[in-house]
């Protein structure tokens, strides 16, 4: 039986990164924030992207195996980067940032729990995608 890391490696070599990017873009329907009836779907797409590039090397005692898994996970991170997934995630976060009134009001933001979950998952995607992966960090943080 394959370990979860092996499943991630196999999935990263398929069209999954491109499919996730396309589904996320389609789910947003041209908006910069999730449409209310699609928040659950958007959150699951984001979670799939985050899980694809999650580092599982700490789960294993064998140093050589851990190093191999880090290389394979970096391949998945690179595939997501090339598919444009983090860029769509950043656009989504920017859309939510634009909903914050200027100057900030003393009242709570008009975001539902579902939308706050999307923001939290977006941040998780970017963390998983960039941890120990310098190429991704440079491409995400470099302005175009």
Q: What does the pLDDT profile of the chain (144 residues) look like in tens digits? A: 345 445 656 776 789 899 999 999 999 988 889 988 999 999 999 999 998 887 554 444 444 444 444 444 678 888 888 999 999 999 999 999 988 887 777 888 778 999 999 999 999 999 888 766 555 445 555 555
pTM of the model: 0.75
112 vs 109: CA distance, rounded Å: 9
Orientation angle between helical segments 85-97 and 113-130, nearest 10 degrees: 140
List of domains in the chain: 4-141 (1.25.10)
Q: How many CA atoms lie within 13 A of 98 on its CB side?
A: 9
Rg from Cα positions in the chain: 16
């Amino acid at each position: 039986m394959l370990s979860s890391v092996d499943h991630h490696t196999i999935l990263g070599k398929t069209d999954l990164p491109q499919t996730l990017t396309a589904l996320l873009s389609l789910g947003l329907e041209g908006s910069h924030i999730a449409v209310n009836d699609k928040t659950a779907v958007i959150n699951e797409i984001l979670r799939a992207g985050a899980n694809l590039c999650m580092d599982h090397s700490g789960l294993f005692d064998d140093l050589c195996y851990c190093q191999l898994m880090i290389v394979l996970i970096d391949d998945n991170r690179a595939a997501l980067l090339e598919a444009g997934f983090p860029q769509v995630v950043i656009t989504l976060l920017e859309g939510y940032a634009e909903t914050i009134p200027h100057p900030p009001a003393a009242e709570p933001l008009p975001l539902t729990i579902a939308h706050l979950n999307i923001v939290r998952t977006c941040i998780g995607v970017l963390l998983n995608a960039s941890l120990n992966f310098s190429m991704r960090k440079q491409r995400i943080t470099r302005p175009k």
